[in-house]
Structure 1
């Protein structure tokens, strides 16, 4: 054990992140096996819960190579899980989707992009807009969606989309507030980010929104910050 006052070693930080992700996945599997919880709700437990690991990686300053390696391994496992019953609690939603795979890929891409730039807040912004925004939009839309609309053959609800806008704005604002302080850009930049994220979420065929929403949100937030803060 590290002496009192000494920074814990890297392996300790990695273990914290791994325990968090493992705990979320284990919870989902227990819910799947021993309760009658709706599979879509179980999937959202994983969707929202595992996304918070990006905050741990940011806070603990876990190196980019760790996040990229974890993304590659998670992508491989999720691909295998579509053929073999590795993660039935995650993928048993009764519809064809590569969402979990795209989710893992997006974390790796954003880590590889923003960690070397010393701008991890934008990776966190993209991932958390997806986890909280998309996750809550789906739950609210299914429970309270009374006004449906279609984007090609994909049905959404105005209630779900409104949730996506509001949650995306709140998440983006909080992350930018922590990263750059209480300046006017902190409150303005999340407006287009939330609108674009919602538009991308509306097209979610095969779960592609799990790739487009985080990358699109992070990229837009980053470029607008570069433009308005320069």
Structure 2
């Protein structure tokens, strides 16, 4: 991780904000290009879904202060809530369903950084990365390869998508825990159950609520299991 303590506070803040703005610019440019070329709307959504989630990884790498993360989370939540009623980001609403999922996603990020960022930022990152990458790959793999489907409360899922969620979540968690603590074989005792629960919640949470149930449960369960091992 980049050590920013030797740089002036203003320069550090400018670097941090610039890095995130550049990344978000690339994410939305990519999604807009895909949207204009009439690519699968689900792919466009997941590019934004995964890309915005990665912002928290950048924030962890660059040691963003808590106040900045919380402020960004609140702003993101407000924009996400507004997008439910007005056309803020129209490419996100092209898949034939309209839920509060984007707002729940932003809200979960805000809650995690508010509660964990000061002392345990790696668990906030785990929660968001499991949701962004795990859910993103579950949707893409499930839509492309899902043959064994089931419906729960109006949500169609597939076993292939749920398995992709489990595998992706496990990989993401291993990477983050290695970055935070180095390789520890015992961390598999955290990774496997948390990834399994995340896959179950993604499959059965109704109406976009997986965007809050998955990140919160993944973050706090990871912390609890790590504390007991």
Q: Using structure 1 for the length normalisation, give the TM-score.
A: 0.91
Runs of at least 5 residues in structure 1 that lack an aligned partner in the other structure: none
Query: 1:97–1:205: 8 Å Cα contact kept in structure 2?
Result: no
**Take 2:48 and 2:154, find their aligned partners in 1: how far apart are those partners?**
26
Identify the residue that residue 132 of structure 1 maps to in structure 2.
133
Question: After the TM superposition, which parts of structure 1 deviate over 3 Å for at least 4 consecutive aligned residues?
Answer: none
Deviation at 1:6, TM superposition (A): 4.6
* Among candidates 105, 109, 112, match of residue 110 of structure 1: 112
* Among candidates 55, 69, 83, match of residue 81 of structure 1: 83
* Among candidates 65, 72, 75, match of residue 74 of structure 2: 72
Secondary structure of the residue that 1:52 maps to in structure 2?
helix
Identify the residue that residue 21 of structure 1 maps to in structure 2.
24
**Take 1:10 and 1:151, find their aligned partners in 2: how far apart are those partners?**
45
* Among candidates 24, 30, 33, match of residue 30 of structure 1: 33
Worse overlay, 12-21 or 122-131? 12-21
Query: 2:101–2:208: 8 Å Cα contact kept in structure 1?
Result: yes
Deviation at 1:131, TM superposition (A): 0.8
User: Is 1:47 aligned to 2:85, yes or no?
Assistant: no
Query: 2:113–2:124: 8 Å Cα contact kept in structure 1?
Result: yes
Deviation at 1:168, TM superposition (A): 0.9
Worse overlay, 149-158 or 105-114? 149-158
User: Is 1:123 aligned to 2:104, yes or no?
Assistant: no
Deviation at 1:112, TM superposition (A): 0.8
Identify the residue that residue 96 of structure 1 maps to in structure 2.
98
Matches within 5 A, 1:159-198: 159-198=160-199
Secondary structure of the residue that 1:215 maps to in structure 2?
helix
Runs of at least 5 residues in structure 2 that lack an aligned partner in the other structure: none
Deviation at 1:197, TM superposition (A): 0.3
The size of the alignment, in residue pairs, is: 222
Query: 2:205–2:213: 8 Å Cα contact kept in structure 1?
Result: no
Q: Using structure 2 for the length normalisation, give the TM-score.
A: 0.92
How large is the RMSD of aligned CA atoms in angstroms?
1.5
